[in-house]
A and B are shown apart, each in its own frame.
Chain A
């Protein structure tokens, strides 16, 4: 397993000394489905953003809500909660 520290290199009890480095851990490959927002129907209410347990929804320059697939685990809560039902869960295809 390259890229991981040996037991001699680990900090004491694997204490994490760099705050916020969890962003480096991309959990997106857990998912089988990812959310696709129909921006024609989306009213930008932010419900998906608020409900996402992974804070995976980001707002782009045009104020649109888009799921960051590096972190989205594909749980589908956004699609369930969306008041406009404009989020579709689409099967992830892996090359």
Chain B
């Protein structure tokens, strides 16, 4: 039976990939992800995991090798952070476009410059439009469960898309948490064998990633967009099956006191639980505040979000961004949420805040301030013209 053990989250994520019986791990070390691939290397070296561990000279190659392995029919995994992901970018886009269900564990970290190894979401937001299924975990247990389930989602014959699991660097990776760890027997059969319908096979030669002339390219991209939208059904199905078997529930949009909240803070990642603590405290003072977590980033859960936010009780949604779109709307998640609700007649006000960049902690009072910005907007009937950077020294 599953045991609840105190374990470093990075190690647990590696164990999740091993539990899924990955066949190829192709990775390059980068802080704060390194412990994940180090642990997988140990498992392979110790003979506990029957996989090919490919040590590569860069992340660009890490993703290239994972892509090739996946198309050859192997269950492939990689993990990276920040600059590593940025260097991979070219192949990140190609991997989804070639429909290779690679799973990537992404320890979210700020992008340089200035050099910063700490947590924010600028790395994942930089890859927003690369066509990967993208899911956020807000604690170690979720990172473990979601990494394990990612293989089942991505490899489903109706999906065949890569999946990235996001979890905050250091705030999660380097923390020792009590995590329910599965025994192999318990999950046996949960992830069926991986079969790519056109895998690279000398006996049945095919050409993958051919030239797509102007007459073809548009149709290929439309097909890819439909594929990731349709993946939603399988994502829900896999999460449901997991819940039925193991009891832990995962939803595209998670809510905390959203049923009666007037002001909602919309979050992604580990700030979610911190915001929940703030709500617990402030509810004692009569504040009708709540938290909505956008767990599923791609495919974007439009309907779920509308169901939760376009309700009479919700007056203002404050969207917390952990990255910046320079010279644009500033808040990336904010602008997506606002435009997703644009056509709804009963949409709430949507206000953007940005905080926690480059590993700066968001303090209790700063969460309170975010909610108060929402209250202020509702009271005055005016959304601030610009996204407010909370915690900025003027």
Contacts and interface: CB of A to CB of B under 8 A. Distances in A.
Nearest to B227: A12
Interface string A39-74: 000000000000000000000000000000000000
B210 interface: yes
Given A4-B215, A15-B198, A17-B198, A10 B206 contact: no
A15 B19 CA distance: 31
Contacts of A15: 198, 206-208, 210
Contact of B220 (A7, A16, A19): A7
A94 interface: no
A90 B208 CA distance: 37
B222 interface: yes
A1 B218 CA distance: 12
Nearest to A12: B99
A55 to B, nearest CB: 17
A13 B97 CA distance: 6
Interface in B205-227: 205-210, 212, 215-216, 218-220, 222-224, 226
Contacts of B208: 13, 15
B219 A12 contact: no
A19 to B, nearest CB: 5
Given A12-B197, A13-B99, A7 B223 contact: yes
B215 A1 contact: yes
Contact of B198 (A1, A4, A5, A12): A12
Given A7-B222, A7-B223, A10-B220, A16 B207 contact: yes
Interface in B253-275: none
A19 B210 contact: no
Interface of A is mostly: loop
Interface in A4-38: 4-8, 10-17, 19
A32 B98 CA distance: 35
A50 B223 CA distance: 40
A25 B163 CA distance: 35
Given A7-B226, A14-B212, A19 B98 contact: no
A16 B206 contact: yes
B160 interface: yes
A55 B206 CA distance: 21
A12 B197 CA distance: 9
A13 B216 contact: no
Contacts of A19: 205-207
Contacts of A14: 210, 212, 216, 220
A14 B206 CA distance: 11
A34 B197 CA distance: 43
A21 to B, nearest CB: 9
A2 B219 CA distance: 13
A14 B218 CA distance: 11
Give the interface centre of B160, B207, B215 by most chain A CB atoms within 10 Å: B207
Contacts of A17: 198, 206
A84 to B, nearest CB: 35
Contacts of A16: 206-207, 210
B219 A4 contact: yes
Interface in B338-359: none
A16 B198 CA distance: 10
Contacts of B212: 14
A17 to B, nearest CB: 5
A10 B219 contact: yes
Give the interface centre of A7, A8, A13, A15 by most chain B CB atoms within 10 Å: A13
B132 to A, nearest CB: 14
Nearest to A8: B223
Contacts of A10: 216, 219-220, 223
A13 B209 contact: yes
Interface of B: 97-99, 160, 197-198, 205-210, 212, 215-216, 218-220, 222-224, 226
11 contacts: A1-B215, A4-B216, A5-B216, A6-B219, A7-B218, A7-B223, A7-B226, A15-B210, A16-B210, A19-B205, A19-B207
Given A4-B219, A17-B198, 14 more contacts: A4-B215, A7-B218, A7-B220, A7-B222, A10-B220, A13-B98, A13-B223, A14-B216, A14-B220, A15-B207, A15-B210, A16-B207, A16-B210, A19-B207
3 smallest A-B Cβ distances: which pairs? A16-B207, A7-B219, A7-B222
